[in-house]
Structure 1
Amino acid sequence: MAKRRYAYSLLLGGIYLALPAMKRFKQIVADLKANIDDPELEDLTPLLWQFICYPPKIPLRLHQQQLLDKAQKFVVTVDDPYFTNITLNIKGFKWGSGKNKILLSHGWGSKAADFTELINALLELPNTEIIAFDAPANGSSDGDLSNLLLFVGAVKSVILETGTPDVVIGHSFGAMANVVGLHELAIQPKLLVSIAPFILLQENFIKNMTAVGVPTADQQAFLDDFKKQYGIYPSYYNMPDLYRFDASLNHWLAYDDADMMLPNTYLQNFLSAHPSIRTKNFSGAGHERIIKLPAVIEDVIVEIKAALDIS
């Protein structure tokens, strides 16, 4: 039985494709746990690819759908040579038509509409255009599995479609994607806002695998397969190495020193190397809830007004 269950997982999604998004993720986790101690199972790697690279999808709430209904919709494309080998349609959303462009990039397993509270506050600013999108395999966009490179591809495609942003805001995985995408496009915005940014990708993978009981040897086998697929270990994708901006960038960073997803030690080590980044600690906010926190939103608005000289 164990071999049969595992064999299904070798398909990219396999039987999981027929399941609703959250049930699918729970089934992936259940299958992974069920197979961890199976002596007949030689390799957990295919299951780990799905566990690591499948972003769970949470349905839209009514107030989020109402916000999207007011948006101007657009579509950009991103090539996916990693999982589907097709060109993905990425869904984008715009509000307003002012000269000041504000781009938002959401985190892993999230969507543009998760910025609803922040977007509603941004809509109060004069002469602005707010741009957001659902990253590959997240929200309403195409894709099955995702990774940082696909997130970066989406950031770049959206910027090339909508124009150079004056303000760029990113949460979690989206904050890391912003740093890479902006550097690759040689863009330095008037203000970069990073909220609970990812710092060390490989350590996050290891943390997640450890949390479900994946043995160290199987973790290393996955990391080795990652290198085989991409030519580098995920440790390459670390914010300290990816961050190429100098002290001239106006960068404001919000974090929670008790964030369970973002160990504070990782963040502080990064910040010590970049003392020009201005920071504020919202202790106890929570990794996901921090973008909805009124105090965070108020501070983001203050930062934007100062950067864009809005009274």
Structure 2
Amino acid sequence: MSQTTSNPKPEPSVQVPKVILRTGRFLQSISTLAAAKYAKRLFITPFKHKMPRREYHMDEQSEQTPLFVPEILKTILVYRYGKSDKKILLAHGWSGRGTQLVKIADHFLKLGYEIISFDAPAHGKASGATTSMPEFIASIHEIEKEFGPFEFAIGHSLGGMALLNAVREGFQTKKLVTIGAADVITDIILHFTRTLTLKDTVAEKMKTMLDTQFGEDIDYASAHNAAKEVHIPTLVVHDEHDGDVPVSCAHAIHNELSNGSIHITQHFGHRRILGKKEVIEKIDGFLLSVND
């Protein structure tokens, strides 16, 4: 594992448009509740980014199938990349898409695996405008029913959090990898509202709204809580200079795993890490090792 170095605080990979910041502050000047409602809507609304050229071949060569998820009454899009009895599930993060982990997919495709990935609700080519982690988790369970079983599962960011929760709830796989996964949902909300330059009171009200919406304390689904009930071999990968998710999340998750490993990289950030040779080789060694 790489050693921690002293460096300036990493910059986030995505900058918030000024119009959004101004709108939030204006609403906050009228009512923190109004600002909380506005922030909550933004929080559950992913951006749909244009697919970069490096992902075109996976998009073109995949068999793509709409899959209705009864639990959430939404339809996702499932990608089948290659054909094999040995399958790996890939789960993208917030504002990602089913082809985002293409470098990892290509690597294991060459090794004879079939890659199953998906556009979560309101992501990629899937319909809808809003979604949340419970919908990611429900999608993973439905994919397992229709396309499983899976040898391994790999999740980036929110996809890693969702996979930890899915495994806790019974999703079956031999080994799990998380990359850049966040942890405590309250902290995520607080970071989000501070990024919007809003008061911490707005985050508190927003958290209360989400607790009410989902019928429980949403911190139950925090990654370190889920990790307590994940007993399969799990590799936690994170970059020391991730500007979106602090590396402390990786250590918190790893500390709760009963059969966990951790790999910390340097200067790969939150998204570029997905295509780095060092990371792919580490994942390969972990998943294909017979000693774990």
- Pairwise TM-score range, normalised by the shorter structure: 0.7 to 0.9
Q: Which residue matches 1:60?
A: 51
Secondary structure of the 2:30 match is coil
After superposing the two structures, state which structure 1 stretch, 115-124 or 225-234, moved more: 225-234
Q: Which residue matches 1:157?
A: 142
Whether 1:218 and 2:168 are equivalent positions in the alignment is no
Q: Map 1:171-182; keep pairs closer than 5 Å.
A: 171-182=156-167
Contact 1:25 1:54 in 2 (8 A): no
For structure 1, list consecutive stretches of 5 or more residues without a partner in the other structure.
1-21, 82-86
Residues in 2 aligned to 1:48 and 1:41: alpha-carbon distance in whole angstroms: 10
Q: Tell me the matched-pair count.
A: 279
Contact 1:28 1:47 in 2 (8 A): no
Q: Which residue matches 1:71?
A: 62
Q: Which residue matches 1:5?
A: none
Q: Which residue matches 1:3?
A: none
Alignment counterpart, residue 252 of structure 1, candidates 235, 238, 241: 235
Closer, same or farther in 2 for the Cα pair 1:137/1:216, shift >3 Å? same
Q: 1:163 offset after TM fit, Å?
A: 1.4
Secondary structure of the 1:123 match is helix
TM-align CA RMSD: 2.6
Give CA-to-partner distance per residue, 1:179-215, whole Å, 9 cap, x none: 112232352x222111111211110111110122211
Give CA-to-partner distance per residue, 1:214-266, whole Å, 9 cap, x none: 1122222212222222222332221222224455x121121112322222333
Residues in 2 aligned to 1:76 and 1:48: alpha-carbon distance in whole angstroms: 30
Residues in 2 aligned to 1:236 and 1:182: alpha-carbon distance in whole angstroms: 14
Report the TM-score when normalising by structure 1. 0.81
Alignment counterpart, residue 227 of structure 2, candidates 219, 243, 250: 243
Q: Map 1:139-288; keep pairs closer than 5 Å.
A: 139-187=124-172, 189-245=173-229, 247=231, 249-274=232-257, 276-288=259-271
Residues in 1 aligned to 2:43 and 2:137: alpha-carbon distance in whole angstroms: 17
Contact 2:164 2:230 in 1 (8 A): no
Q: Which residue matches 2:7?
A: none
Structure 1 outlier segments of 4+, above 4 Å: 24-30
Secondary structure of the 2:69 match is strand
Closer, same or farther in 2 for the Cα pair 1:26/1:104, shift >3 Å? farther
For structure 2, list consecutive stretches of 5 or more residues without a partner in the other structure.
1-13
Q: 1:138 offset after TM fit, Å?
A: 0.9
Secondary structure of the 1:114 match is coil
Residues in 1 aligned to 2:82 and 2:274: alpha-carbon distance in whole angstroms: 21
Report the TM-score when normalising by structure 2. 0.86
Secondary structure of the 1:43 match is helix
Closer, same or farther in 2 for the Cα pair 1:287/1:42, shift >3 Å? closer
Residues in 2 aligned to 1:262 and 1:42: alpha-carbon distance in whole angstroms: 26
Higher relative contact order (CA 8 A, sep 6+): 2
Q: 1:165 offset after TM fit, Å?
A: 0.3
Give CA-to-partner distance per residue, 1:20-50, whole Å, 9 cap, x none: xx9x9775444224433x3377622321122
Residues in 2 aligned to 1:59 and 1:179: alpha-carbon distance in whole angstroms: 28
Closer, same or farther in 2 for the Cα pair 1:271/1:308, shift >3 Å? closer
Taking only the aligned residue pairs, the percentage that are identical comes to 20
